[in-house]
Amino acid sequence: MDLGIGNRVALVTGGVRGIGLAIVQRLVGEGCRVAVCDIDAEAARALPEGVFFTPCDVGDEDQCEDMITCVAEQVGPVDILVNNAGVQSVVSLDEATLEDWERVMRINVTAAFMLSKIVVPGMKERGWGRIVNIASMAGKVGGLTVSASYSTSKAGMMGLTKSIARAGAPEVTSNAVAPAFIRTAMTEPETEAEFAPQIPLRRLGTPEDVAAGVAFLASDLAGFVTGEVFDINGGLLMD
Ligand SMILES: NC(=O)c1ccc[n+]([C@@H]2O[C@H](COP(=O)([O-])OP(=O)(O)OC[C@H]3O[C@@H](n4cnc5c(N)ncnc54)[C@H](O)[C@@H]3O)[C@@H](O)[C@H]2O)c1
């Protein structure tokens, strides 16, 4: 099935591993010209051939601006922005600090705000654009295993998605995916044993499951979808 995004320029933040890498691989497979930014330049060696990499801490406004300029010069103006970079936090409310709260909010949601603000005007001028934000089921239900900072950042991502959907229309769509329990290199075997039986589809998700949802929302097939939060959770939460 042709998603209609061949030759579009896609930028995936935090794309060197895990869910971000699966999104990169999927978008490359769809024919996109893909750029990746990440703080982990070492891991960028795992990127598929032809993907442009530039180091960037998305929590830093100046670095975000320089990175978008660099991608525009080296690959082209961004048509598809996937705000995937994120950090986890598992501290309890008792032990949580303002420092943890501000760090998690900055990387998980403020960065998506800063980057969207930079790229949306150009997308509108060119008449086409896609923002796809990686939220989480934790943003809907509070964290089952994660901190208040994490779940609040992901709830914020959903509000941001809808605000951008209104501001970007009609040229730019903005949607989010809300994954839960996706198996990555860091998933503990105990997590799978504990949660898989509670998931109606009886398994954890894969990064490729998330990438498929992102590719759809980034595509021309989703041209009449905006402001949506698309659950990818095996039926764990049906709302
Ligand atoms: N794994 C899950 O079960 C799950 C569930 C729901 C949502 N998510 C979300 O999916 C996204 C990807 O998660 P993952 O499981 O692949 O995690 P991961 O830790 O494997 O990947 C996150 C990537 O973001 C990068 N990153 C972190 N801070 C950064 C910064 N300041 N600037 C630039 N890059 C930075 C990391 O280097 C890493 O490459 C995150 O937003 C996460 O919150 C994951």
98 catalytic? Reply is no
The distance between the two most distant Cα atoms of the chain, rounded to a whole number of Å, is 50
User: Average pLDDT, whole number, for the chain?
Assistant: 97
Pocket test for ligand 1, best of 21, 38, 187 (most atoms within 8 A of CB): 38
Is 200 a domain residue?
yes
In a domain, 3, yes or no: no
* Dist. CA 90 → ligand 1 center (Å): 14
Mean predicted confidence (pLDDT) in 123-139: 98
- Domain-embedded: residue 82: yes
- Which domain range does residue 94 map to? 9-232
Mean pLDDT value of segment 181-210 = 91
Identify the band that residue 64 occupies on the pLDDT scale cut at 50, 70 and 90.
Answer: very high
- 15 lies in a domain? yes
Q: Does the pLDDT of residue 215 top 80, yes or no?
A: yes
Using 50, 70 and 90 to split pLDDT, how confident is the model at 173? very high
Q: What integer is the mean pLDDT of 128-149? A: 95
What pLDDT is recorded for position 190? 86
Asked if the structure places residue 61 within a domain, the reply is yes
**CATH classification of the domain holding 169:** 3.40.50.720
Ligand 1: residues with CB < 6 A are 13-14, 16-20, 38-40, 56-59, 84-87, 107, 134, 136, 179-182, 184
- Say if residue 143's pLDDT is above 90: no
Q: What is the pLDDT of residues 72-126, one digit of tens each?
A: 999 999 999 999 999 999 999 999 999 999 999 999 999 999 999 999 999 999 9
The total number of structural domains in the chain stands at: 1
pLDDT at res. 90: 94
- The Cα–Cα gap between 71 and 118 comes to 12
Task: Measure 24 CA to ligand 1 centroid, in angstroms.
Answer: 13
Does a structural domain hold residue 83? yes
pLDDT category of residue 192 using cuts at 50, 70 and 90: confident
Structural domain includes residue 237: no
Residue 220 lies in a domain: yes
- Please pick, among 150, 181, 195, 216, the residue that the annotation labels catalytic: 150
